Structure 1
Amino acid sequence: MQLLHNKVVFLTGGTEGIGYECAQAYHKAGARVAIISHKEDSLQQCRERFFNDNLLYILADVSCADDVQRAIEETIATFGGIDVIHNNAGVSNPSKTLCDTTDAEWQKVFDVNVKGIYHTTKYGIAALKESKGVILNTGSMVGEIGQELHAAYTATKGAVNALTKSMALDYAPLGIRVNAVAPAGVWTPMLRRWSSQQPNAEHIEHYLNEIHPLGYCPEGDVVADACVFLVSEQARFITGCILPVSGGAELGYRRYIEKGEEENKEVVPAGLNGKAV
Structure 2
Amino acid sequence: MRALQEKVILITGGTAGIGLSCVKAYVDAGAKVAFIGLEQELVNDTQQLIGAPHLGICADVTNAAEVEEAIALVVQTFGRLDAIHNNAGLASPSKPLHLTTDEEWENLMQVNLKSILFTMRYGYPHLKNTKGCVLHTSSLVGEIGQENHAAYSATKGAVNALTKSMAIDYAADGIRVNAVLPAAVMTPMLKNWVQEQAVPERTLNFLNDIHLLGYCPEGDVIADACVFLLSDNARFITGVSLPVSGGAELGYRRNT
- TM-score, normalised by the number of residues in structure 2: 0.96
Look up the match of 1:152.
151
What does residue 239 of structure 2 align with?
Answer: 240
Higher-helix-fraction structure: 2
Structure 2 CA distance for partners of 1:150 and 1:79, relative to 1, 3 Å: same
1:50-69 pair list within 5 angstroms: 50-53=50-53, 55-69=54-68
Tell me the equivalent position of 1:13: 13
Are 1:98 and 1:152, in contact at CA under 8 Å, matched by a contact in 2?
A: yes
Partner in structure 1 of residue 88 of structure 2: 89
Percent identity between the two aligned chains: 57
CA contact (8 A) 1:92 1:190 kept: no
User: Where do 5+ consecutive residues of structure 1 fail to align?
Assistant: 258-267, 269-277
Cα drift, residue 190 of structure 1: 3.2
| 1:48-96 residue CA offsets vs partner (Å, 9 max, x unmatched) | 322122x100001111111100100000000001000000000100111
For residue 29 of structure 1, report the CA deviation from its aligned partner.
Answer: 0.8
Partner of 2:118: 119
C-alpha separation in 2, matches of 1:253 and 1:96: 20
* Equivalent runs, 1:193-208 vs 2, <5 Å: 193-195=192-194, 201=200, 203-208=202-207
Residue in 1 that maps onto 2:70 = 71
User: Within 1, Cα distance between the matches of 2:238 and 2:108?
Assistant: 26
Distance 1:160 1:199, change over 3 A: farther
Listed as ranges, the matches of 1:1-277 within 5 Å are 1-53=1-53, 55-195=54-194, 201=200, 203-251=202-250, 254=253, 268=256
2:135 touches 2:230 (CA, 8 Å); kept in 1? yes
Q: 1:192 & 1:93 partners in 2: Cα distance?
A: 16
> How far is 1:47 from its partner?
2.1
Change in 2 beyond 3 A, CA 1:214/1:60 = same
Q: How far did 1:2 drift?
A: 1.0
How many matched pairs? 256
Q: Deviations over 1:248-273 (max 9, x none)?
A: 00126625x7xxxxxxxxxx5xxxxx
TM-score (norm 1): 0.89
How well do the aligned residues superpose, as a CA RMSD in angstroms? 1.5
Does the Cα contact within 8 Å between 1:88 and 1:138 map onto a contact in 2? Answer: yes
User: Segments of 4+ in structure 1 off by > 6 A?
Assistant: none
